[in-house]
Every structure is written in structure tokens, then in C-alpha cells.
Amino acid sequence: MTDRPGKIVCVGRNYREHAKEMGNAVPVEPLLFLKPSSAIIHSGQAVVSPRLTRQLEHEGEIGVVIGMPIRRATEAQARAAIRGVVALNDITARDLQKSDAQWTRGKGFDTFCPIGPEWSGIPDFASLEVVTRVNGVVRQRGTGAEMVFSVPALLAYISQVMTLEPGDIVATGTPAGVGPLIPGDTVEVEVVGCSSVSNPVIAEA
Ligand code: MG
């Protein structure tokens, strides 16, 4: 993938254990937010910890890449519109996410969306595993089977609101185990067998 996606649609609290660790109820409907495409970086590029935060955190996620436009899709139509998968790190300034009424600032800084190379195809999402490591130590591990809402259900739900277009990315939520990143760390998200992205963390100059 070379071009920036038109949009990155993210899903919050889509793993029960993560909702629980944050002290949140499991949602009855998908919780949606957007990340700006200007936040995207690739493997080897640095995540810049902003001066404005004191609580930078990783969220390793399965990113789904859309291959054809869908609007008001059924789950079957939504599944057929998938082009591929990327490893995605929904980097979050947790303190700003909590202090603001919505998440644009806490989720939207430049470098807050590392993505790996696109793997082409439609995997078996239930068995697809996402692992997050910091300095080589596993911090998060989860599979699609643990999601509150399945990938096709998420895409169909989002498409009731906005047209999903080719190249758009949907970040499908993070498993339990989110935690701090500090300058000097290296954070890696791997969607096992499909894609991985590794990034050093540096302080804002
Ligand atoms: Mg997330």
C-alpha cells in the first residue's frame, strides 16, 4: 500500500477483556471513531511521543483494508468487499483521551497510526491472532474469536453511516493488555501470518 487511505475508521472496546481493563461496559453497539490518515507511518519510522501527553500507550489491532465501495451492506456483502489485512497500532495519548469529551486529540497526533504491509486476501478472522510486543516482550495477544462484534458485522454497521471506499482501513479494536510506551522503546504489532509493523518511540524534539 503506497497511497494514504481516505479514512481510518476505528472501533473502541471490541474485546470484552479490554473493555473490562479500562473499567468500561461491553458496548451494545460498535463504538466508532476516526483517526486522520496523516497519522500513518510505516515500519521503521518513529512514533513521536507528543509533549502534550504523559501517558502514551500502544493498542495492537487487526486492520482491515476495503477493496470496493460498500454502502448499507449486509454482512455477506461487507465480507466480500475486503481486500486485505494490515497490522495496525492505534497509538493513544490515554490522558488526553480521558480528559477530552471525544477522542480526536488523544488518537490523532502525527505518527499515531503505524501500519504494516498489506496482506491480500480474506482470512479466517476468528482464528486470526494479533500480538503486540514492546522491546520483544509480549504485552497483548488476542484473536478475532474474542471480538464483541465480528469483522463483517463491523463493516456492515459502519456502512450504514458512511460509504467505505477502496483503500479505507477499519481498525477492529484491541485486546486486553494495553500499556505504556516511553522514548527508547520499540513496539511491534504482528497479525500472525499476515503483516507486522515495528517502530521505535522517540520524544518530540
Ligand atoms: Mg483502539
How many angstroms is it from 175 CA to the middle of ligand 1?
Answer: 9
How many angstroms is it from 68 CA to the middle of ligand 1?
Answer: 24
How many angstroms is it from 125 CA to the middle of ligand 1?
Answer: 17
Q: Per residue in 50-97, pLDDT tens?
A: 999 999 999 999 999 999 999 999 999 999 999 999 999 999 999 999
Residue-level pLDDT at 1: 45
Mean pLDDT of 39-44: 98
What DSSP character marks residue 66? E
How many angstroms is it from 14 CA to the middle of ligand 1?
Answer: 9
**If DSSP codes are grouped into helix, strand and coil, which group holds residue 96?**
helix
Mention every residue, 6+ apart, whose C-beta is less than 8 A from residue 101.
none
Q: Is the per-residue pLDDT at 2 higher than 70?
A: no
**Single pTM value for the model:** 0.97
Mean pLDDT of 33-54: 98
- 143, 128 in Cβ contact below 8 A? yes
Residues in the chain: 205
Averaged pLDDT of the chain: 96
Candidate CATH numbers 3.40.50.2300, 3.30.230.20, 3.90.850.10, 3.40.50.1860; the one for domain 8-203: 3.90.850.10
Q: How far is CA 97 from CA 20, 139, 158, 166, in A?
A: 17, 21, 22, 29
Domain boundaries, the chain: 8-203
How many angstroms is it from 61 CA to the middle of ligand 1?
Answer: 7
Q: How far is CA 105 from CA 24, 33, 81, in A?
A: 20, 11, 30
Q: Using CA atoms, how far apart are residues 45 and 31, in angstroms rounded to an integer? A: 29
Residue-level pLDDT at 52: 97
Q: Using CA atoms, how far apart are residues 78 and 157, in angstroms rounded to an integer? A: 9
Which among 40, 34, 60 is positioned nearest to 133, based on CA atoms? Answer: 60
What DSSP character marks residue 184? T
Q: Is the per-residue pLDDT at 181 higher than 90?
A: yes
Residue-level pLDDT at 40: 98
How many angstroms is it from 205 CA to the middle of ligand 1?
Answer: 26
How many angstroms is it from 105 CA to the middle of ligand 1?
Answer: 14
Residue-level pLDDT at 3: 74
Cβ-based burial of 28 (10 A; exposed 0-12, middle 13-18, buried ≥19): exposed
